[in-house]
Structure 1
Amino acid sequence: MLDTFWELLWYTLLVFAFVAYLIILFHVIVDLFRDRKMSGIAKTLWIIFLVVVPYLAAFVYLIARGSGMAERQIEAQDAAKQATDQYIQKVAGKSSADQIADAKALLDAGTITQAEFDILKSKALS
């Protein structure tokens, strides 16, 4: 199959080029679907272009829309981080200080008694 060193080198180069293309292709496709400003028709045309002339289309996309790819990726990461932070805050609940402040506000409003406040405070501190 691979009789000489040069055939092995050529085969390795081809495999490398194919894997590199696949990585670029996945990034381009993800960016296409991440872009909310681009119309569906434009996205479809890019996909067809990627299928018909794969390497050329990928390089043209990187040249034409490369700077926006980084911006859209940063926006997606920021949105994911905000969603994660909101989920953690929701699940974690309030801090002990917040719970004591809420109980103190209830005590000051006359909603709870001093004994109930002390119970709530001890629960928050434990």
Structure 2
Amino acid sequence: METKLLAVDYPVLNIFWTMLELFLWILWFFLLFKIISDIFRSHDLGGWGKAGWLVLVIFLPLIGILAYLIARGQSMGMRDVEQAQQADAAVRAYIRNAAGTPGGTPGAGAPDGGGGRSHVEDLARLADLRDRGAISDEEYQKAKDKLLV
């Protein structure tokens, strides 16, 4: 009896072809979900427009996706940038609120009791002064240590 190895029946070129097919399927589904999510988050399309694009993308996927990318690809990129900017602004606001002093009243975290400035703003001003060369690194460290105590 003769036994064959599986590797002999499946050459290396077929492995590469299978990997390429798998990659293209994953890319296709990623693009399909990206476009469907863009259809739903688009504010400039009405309900019938969204329904029309969705029907086109689902029932004629190749034509629908290519048509959508040609017709609305640039605005899709702008919506992505806008959403990323909104998320970044939300994270920055959260960090600013979490790191800031509460209320700015005397005794509520502000050492001098003045104006509701936070330690974060003071440290940012100090870093800016150091970067511009207005104060040395030693002066920056001393002032920073004073703020953080």
| TM-score of the superposed pair, with normalisation by structure 2 | 0.58
Q: CA RMSD in A?
A: 3.0
In the alignment, is residue 75 of structure 1 matched against residue 82 of structure 2?
Answer: yes
Whether 1:88 aligns to 2:95 is yes
- CA shift, 1:92, in A, is 1.3
Corresponding residue for residue 112 of structure 1: none
* Alignment match of 2:51 (pick from 10, 34, 44): 44
2:62 partner amino acid: Y
Give the C-alpha shift of residue 9 in structure 1. 5.3
Q: Is the 8 A contact 1:21 1:55 kept in 2?
A: no
1:31 matched to 2:44? The reply is no
The residue number in structure 2 matching 1:57 is 64
Question: In 1, Cα distance between the equivalents of 2:45 and 2:96?
Answer: 34
Deviating more after overlay: 6-15 vs 36-45: 6-15
What are structure 1's unaligned runs of at least 5 residues? 104-123
Offset, 1:89:
1.2
Residues 100 and 53 of structure 1: CA distance in aligned 2, closer, same or farther (over 3 Å): same
Residue of structure 1 equivalent to 2:113: 100
Aligned to 1:120: none
* Contact 1:49/1:57 (8 A) holds in 2: yes
How many residue pairs align between the two structures?
Answer: 106
What SS class does the counterpart of residue 81 from structure 1 fall into? helix
| TM-score of the pair, normalised by structure 1 | 0.67
More helix by share: 1
Higher RCO (C-alpha 8 Å, min separation 6)? 1
**Structure 2: gaps (5+ residues):** 1-8, 117-146
Distance 1:65 1:99, change over 3 A: farther
% of aligned pairs identical?
A: 30
